[in-house]
Structure 1
């Protein structure tokens, strides 16, 4: 009760600061948990760094290399990508992926591990089939070179997952990989906040929606939608650990506030929806029914109160008129272009990763968008109905593994918590898949982590 009272008073104080100084004050308020988390990490992690380094293996280096290869430092229009496919940052990205591919081939030859069997089983096998079909679509692609490289890139991601599944035998190993992944993405989220403070003219869009500000990453570049997704994932992970652990609750409560704060500042509606779905899933599975009833009653009162409901609706609209909001910020127009093209080639598509950008979006007159912002339509346009089915069945198999495993009496406590964590992240990604192409885009480490862990569960 005392903790709740203190957090309520802090909320009132921060609300007063925001009203007085403006919504940009949220950025500086969020700097407080970042400072706290940094100090806490130095204090708690100082004596653990050397033992932790002793636990790292080759796949951790490959995992970090994929993460670094996915960082974006420049934005190119479609014409520029066609005329100059290889610039410095493209070579940087390709070089890191190439190093990972060489490491995987070496490990296969040395049978340390022999990851080939893992590449043909379960959800990993289905996604490997999708990647292989994507590479084959080079033969009929509207931009063969683009399709071939992107397909190989995604296959390297899936092969690394297969190698990790073959190597990680214990929950302790998986827990370390989970923690490493969230540290990487939490750090990336921290750089976005630092960029908003140091380069507010580039990192903050003014005059957007109810808040009047919308943040994005500068170095590296992270679009507002990406910021929102990061905030939702970090928030979901923190919520799981908050309700499943008996210790470090204040730490994870701070992480939760940080993630939600960044999510709100990004004004990303699909990421917010994803977090709400994940939070509901978490509360249902941990059987916090009393809290759910209390929360539902509170939300009902908030929405029923006219001015508050209008305020929430104003935030959701984000300054858009009803027509633009109904079109999902113009996405439905892109999807219509894409669907019209798909029905002309339903079996083969137009080449993986090329069909949407160089066919549908080019026809729609969109030059700077790299995907059609829908995983499933992206798959249909790229590799047709057969690739779509491989992807769909692969994702459904992940949910099947999680739902059949959670709550099993023989489940270890650590395994149950990790499974719930993976489920919450996949819930965010599943919602976002309707508005982004992240599930089939290099390198969606959260999805790759979920995919590998689901295969680990299936084998147990």
Structure 2
């Protein structure tokens, strides 16, 4: 492994993916069907195509693909299952194949950076820090949206009208919904908190990002993001032997005090002004999940194995139980069930479980400080995404989190002796 400087050119495919992930307006299903290519998503198309061309040419000319991690193999199999699902059942080949092409390109970029990490000593850290910088810039854009477009950024919703906070924070330019604001905020908070504990970077910078991301997390009212963050922090504190006992005791006492003093406020934040039925059904999601679960159980073996057509099948089926409101089942696992059947859903689930278990296995091994911290971050962020995946799409389609998945796989791959 060589200690070379990583140039802008080498990182360029990543920046193209960042560019493709920016959204400047939203469209409903009928608009997508009538006009798949629109000025609102032209940056996504350009970014994906250029990234593919760059990586394809680079592999042809320069780079040998290194032996892939098991997690890459799992995701490649998910892509294969998606392809079979399209061939068998898709009613819109153009749309389905484009969405498949998107995740294939991200997979290839993951392979590209995986292979480069064997040539550049700090590639994993550079890649991870690039993602964190991108996420932080997105949070800054949300703050600017609040300042310049408050009526649009502070979304008032009838379902939370009687909640403790009667609005949800969104990004306006680029468009970032409250769910994504919450998920990104939980990731940034976790990263900054770990940096603060282990005295990485400036203490003031870490505190700034902890405060800002926590405020945005609370005001986004994304409950599963908050739950995922708490679960990640709890497991890391409980299982890590390198976090001082004093820190653990302090954290436990602090959490108990906060829980006792602000008990009513915490409950109201999680209830979010909803009635009992809305809470039990997770804002109606369980009705949609029950629909696709019963449909696939009562269908033939081929639908059970491969779903109803990657991407297009999900959109068509999600419209039915949601009365035309939803284009997805609002869950990585149930959307995968509709798109790729039990095989694809199993692969997605195993990716998370394998990454969590492998991180836990290495948690208290003889790693140096930086490798240990990296492993903690991989573990915590995977837990956040695993829990968040129950109520939103994460790695089953192209979102902020799919390329980030390959990033944390690369971050967690190294053995201590490689540095």
Normalised by the length of structure 1, the TM-score is: 0.82
Tell me which residue corresponds to 2:380.
Answer: 424
| 361-370 or 68-77, larger mean C-alpha shift | 361-370
Which deviates more, 230-239 or 438-447?
Answer: 438-447
2:348 aligns to what?
391
CA separation of 1:417/1:151 partners in 2, compared to 1, >3 Å: closer, same or farther? same
Q: In the alignment, is residue 406 of structure 1 matched against residue 363 of structure 2?
A: yes
Answering whether residue 92 of structure 2 is matched by residue 135 of structure 1, we say no
Partner of 1:447: 405
- Determine whether 1:437 maps to 2:388: no
Using the TM superposition, give the Cα deviation of residue 114 of structure 1 relative to its aligned residue in structure 2, in angstroms: 2.3
Give how far 1:347 is off: 1.3
Following the alignment from structure 2 to structure 1, what is the Cα–Cα distance between the partners of residues 412 and 162?
39
- Determine the C-alpha separation between the residues in 2 that align with 1:456 and 1:102: 29
- Provide the residue aligned with 1:256 in structure 2: 210
Separation in 2, partners of 1:458, 1:153: 34
CA distance in 2, matches of 1:404, 1:216: 38
Aligned to 2:321: 364
Q: Paired residue for 2:263, among 293, 309, 313?
A: 309
Point out where structure 2 has 5 or more consecutive residues left out of the alignment: none
Partner of 1:107: 58
Local SS of the residue matching 1:363: coil
Per-residue deviation, residues 387-438 of structure 1 (Å, max 9, x unmatched): 22222333333223322222221x2221111221222211211110111111
> Partners of 1:372 and 1:257 in 2: how far apart?
32
Q: What is the CA-CA distance between 1:137 and the residue it aligns to? A: 1.8
Post-superposition Cα deviations, 1:67-90, rounded to whole Å, max 9, x if no partner, equal 111111121111221122121233
Partner of 1:348: 306
**Which residue is 2:224 aligned to?**
270
- In 2, the alpha carbon distance for the partners of 1:113 and 1:208 equals 57
2:27 to 76, 82, 87: 76
Cα deviations across residues 12-66 of structure 1 (Å, max 9, x unaligned)? xxxxxxxxxxxxxxxxxxxxxxxxxxxxxxxxxxxxxxxxx96324341111111
What residue ranges of structure 1 are gaps of 5+ in the alignment? Answer: 1-52
> 1:92: Cα distance to partner?
2.4
**Within 1, Cα distance between the matches of 2:414 and 2:104?**
19
**Separation in 2 of the partners of 1:246 and 1:85?**
45
User: Which whole-Å deviations, capped at 9, do the CAs of 1:122-173 have from their partners, x for residues lacking one?
Assistant: 1011101111221232212233222211111101111111111111135522
**Structure 1: distance between partners of 2:415 and 2:20:** 28
Tell whether 2:134 aligns with 1:184: yes
Whether the 8 Å CA contact 2:371–2:416 is kept in 1: the answer is no
Q: Are residue 172 (structure 1) and residue 122 (structure 2) matched?
A: yes
Pair 1:376-2:333 in alignment: yes
2:279 equivalent among 313, 325, 344? 325
2:412 is paired with a residue whose SS is helix
The alpha carbon displacement at 1:368 in A equals 4.9
Corresponding position: 1:195 with 2:166: no
Aligned to 1:392, the other structure's residue is in SS state helix
Aligned-residue offset at 1:301:
4.5
Paired with 1:424 and 1:126, the residues of 2 have a C-alpha distance of 21
Native 8 Å contact 1:239 1:279 kept in 2: no
Aligned to 1:41: none
The number of aligned residues is 401
- Aligned position for 2:248: 292
